[in-house]
Amino acid sequence: MIFNQKKKQAEQLKASFGKLKDKSYNFELIEKYFRNKDHSASFQELSDKTCNDLDFDELFMFLDRTNSKVGQQYLYNRLRVIPIDSKNVELDEELINQFATDSNFRLQIQTELTKLNHREAYYISALFQEGYLEPPKWFFVMRLLSFTSILSVLLLPFNLKIFFVLGSVFIINICFHLWNKRNLSSYSDSIPQLLILKRVANKLFQTKNLKKINPLLNESIQAINQIRNRMLIFKLESKIEGDFQVIFWSFLELFKILFLLEPLLLFGVLKRLDIRREEIEKVYSFVGRIDALVSIASLRNGLEVNCIPEICEENIRIVGDQIYHPLIIDCVANNIVVNGKSILLTGSNMSGKTSFIRTIGLNVIAGLTINTCFAEAMVIPRVRIYSAIRISDDLMNDKSYYFEEVLTIKDMIGKSCNGKANLYLLDEIFKGTNTVERISAGKAVLTSLAKNENIVFVSTHDIELTDLLEKEYDLYHFSEIISDKSVAFDYKLKDGKLKNRNAIRILEINDFPELVIKEAMALAEKLDRNRL
């Protein structure tokens, strides 16, 4: 029976390698480790704003091929935090390659990792990131009652009247025992999973290549092992099956009440865990990193086209050969070279401008965090990433669309001159105001952002901006193909600014009244003559 289950699990793991997960995602729990972790020493922590602009949650669901909840939390954190250097890349790539080429080795590791795939494993990170319950000031009363119970049991054979003392103490202890149940439930998820984490880490640590991740991990495992027996109390009551076990656990519960074992052990364990936070996190990170590397190996195996990027630390440039958006089915790939100038995109709605800007952002993020890009070849700099793509009115705080955009771009300008390279991704700058002021303000802002080795990718409908910025920006455009009764998009990036205006032609294709079309055509020609 057990053999068949293991065989079935191995077959499922082997079949799932390189495939998308078919499971729901609870981002509140997935984000727990990331939200509570200190990232002050990192190169950049991606903001919620940027993640929302780039559809980060959807990206994560596409990239995530982890086998455990610990690995899932670790991978999420890794994708949200750009590291300050690439010091771990060589070892990571060595292990990723081993996972990709040695299926027996990978299945052995995956089998261990799946032991941490229960929902409760999300709460392990709380044991080293969050505060612990403090014993109440009257906690000494429980120690006194426990001692009284022990003494009464010892003296009972010599004086049967002590039974009444023992009975009275037992009744009082019931109250304290029930009071403590709520405290115990706060850790009934995390501590049993910590015991599993320790066993999984110990098993993985026996593998020679995995030891390289943290050669001193055994010290952390042993530190947790010192309080293992005390933590076993949290496993009690977890599985009660059959009449005999019900009777056994019932007697055990009476025993725990009599001597107040649960509250005494609980606060004793919490006190010891509190001074073991660093060791717990090391074990957690060891297992999480291994699972993340298995996930990256699976991701690459499932992609038809991917590459390991060249990360240039000095020369600020972006080169993408057949770069594509990983979330767009049958995405049209494009080439791009950014070296010395920023990029200004023109084109009609739905032609691909915003998707291309997101393509750049997602590739830079994935390249800097998991050393994987969605392209034939990719060169990227180590940059901080900021965006203004998806902006909406904040009605709760009485802020208009334009005001929200102003605040976002003001923050970008502030960061543009801090001596660090930045990548700015903008879609239709200042579209919340009138044309003259939009063009004037847009030109001034885009000139400012493009200074100091910063790279800007911005889309616009304002052809006037292309004339004003052609010395500072390389111009590209997307265009559509219009036939008698249809509009098609090729999504190919083309040099230069958009010259054809097809908006009115699209109205005509969609059977707008002839008078409307004629008036629009005449007015457009007049405006063009006045501009000249």
Does some domain include residue 146? Answer: no
Burial 504-519 (b: 16+ CB within 10 A, else e): beeebeeeeeeeeeee
In the predicted structure, residue 136 carries a pLDDT above the cut 90: no
Least confident of 130-139, 475-484, 518-527: 518-527
**Model confidence, pTM:** 0.89
What mean pLDDT value characterizes the chain?
Answer: 87
- pLDDT tens digits, residue range 335-374? 999 988 999 999 887 888 999 999 999 999 999 999 999 9
pLDDT at 163: 80
The residue-averaged pLDDT of 290-304 equals 97
Stronger pLDDT, 56 or 140, i.e. the higher one: 56
3-class DSSP state for residue 3? helix
Residues 91 and 35 both lie in one domain: yes
With 0-12 CB in 10 A as exposed, 13-18 as middle and 19+ as buried, what is 440? middle
Among 346-360, 373-387, 435-449, the range with the most confident prediction by mean pLDDT is 373-387
The residue-averaged pLDDT of 451-479 equals 90
Gap between the Cα atoms of 151 and 139, Å rounded: 19
Does some domain include residue 466? Answer: yes
Distances (CA, A) of 206 to 45, 88, 107, 226, 278: 34, 21, 15, 19, 21
Residues 288 and 324 both lie in one domain: no
In the predicted structure, residue 241 carries a pLDDT above the cut 50: no
Burial 205-214 (b: 16+ CB within 10 A, else e): beeeebeebb
With 0-12 CB in 10 A as exposed, 13-18 as middle and 19+ as buried, what is 245? exposed
In the predicted structure, residue 260 carries a pLDDT above the cut 50: yes
Residues 292 and 363 both lie in one domain: no
pLDDT at 234: 60
The residue-averaged pLDDT of 22-43 equals 95
pLDDT at 240: 42
Residues 291 and 348 both lie in one domain: no
Our count of domains for the chain comes to: 2
Q: Check: CB of residue 257 under 8 Å from CB of residue 173.
A: yes
The DSSP string of 290-319 is: HHHHHHHHHHHHH-SS-BPPEEESSS-EEE
The residue-averaged pLDDT of 480-496 equals 81
pLDDT at 53: 94
Does some domain include residue 154? Answer: no
What's 450's domain CATH number? 3.40.50.300
Q: Which of 254, 271, 302 is the last residue of a domain?
A: 302
The DSSP string of 356-389 is: HHHHHHHHHHHHHHHS-BSSSEEEEE--EEEEES
The DSSP string of 190-248 is: HHHHHHHHHHHHHHHHTSHHHHTT-TTHHHHHHHHHTTHHHHGGGGTTS---SHHHHHH
pLDDT at 200: 96
Does some domain include residue 108? Answer: yes
Residues 17 and 121 both lie in one domain: yes
Query: Could you list the residue range(s) of the whole structural domain that residue 415 is in?
Result: 310-500
Least confident of 151-160, 399-408, 459-468, 487-496: 399-408
Residues 324 and 290 both lie in one domain: no
In the predicted structure, residue 228 carries a pLDDT above the cut 90: no
Q: Which residue has the tokens 């499922």?
A: 12
Token digits of residue 132? 């612990």
Give percent above pLDDT 90 in the chain.
Answer: 51
The residue-averaged pLDDT of 190-205 equals 93
Q: Which of 302, 333, 368 is the last residue of a domain?
A: 302
Q: Which of 267, 302, 337 is the last residue of a domain?
A: 302
Residues 288 and 412 both lie in one domain: no
The residue-averaged pLDDT of 312-330 equals 92
Does some domain include residue 360? Answer: yes
Name 102's Cβ contacts closer than 8 Å, sequence gap at least 6. none
3-class DSSP state for residue 67? coil
Residues 346 and 395 both lie in one domain: yes
Cα-Cα-Cα-Cα torsion 267, 268, 270, 276, nearest 10 degrees, comes to 170
Dmax (CA) of the chain: 115
In the predicted structure, residue 393 carries a pLDDT above the cut 50: no
pLDDT at 249: 67
Q: Check: CB of residue 291 under 8 Å from CB of residue 66.
A: yes
pLDDT band at 395 (very low <50, low <70, confident <90, very high): very low
Regarding beta strands 377-381 and 310-312, do their DSSP bridges make them parallel or antiparallel, or are they unpaired? parallel
pLDDT at 238: 46
Name 469's Cβ contacts closer than 8 Å, sequence gap at least 6. 344, 443, 446, 447
Residues 323 and 295 both lie in one domain: no
Does some domain include residue 373? Answer: yes
Does some domain include residue 258? Answer: no
Residues 466 and 347 both lie in one domain: yes
Cα-Cα-Cα-Cα torsion 231, 25, 291, 101, nearest 10 degrees, comes to 150
pLDDT band at 426 (very low <50, low <70, confident <90, very high): very high
The residue-averaged pLDDT of 418-436 equals 83
Q: Check: CB of residue 374 under 8 Å from CB of residue 324.
A: yes
The residue-averaged pLDDT of 37-60 equals 95
Q: Which residue has the tokens 């105001």?
A: 433
Residues 293 and 417 both lie in one domain: no
Q: Which residue has the tokens 């950014």?
A: 338
Give percent above pLDDT 70 in the chain.
Answer: 90
Gap between the Cα atoms of 315 and 331, Å rounded: 29
pLDDT at 510: 73
pLDDT at 401: 67
Residues 432 and 449 both lie in one domain: yes
Q: Check: CB of residue 490 under 8 Å from CB of residue 332.
A: yes
Does some domain include residue 200? Answer: no
Query: Residue type at 193?
Result: Q
In the predicted structure, residue 257 carries a pLDDT above the cut 90: no
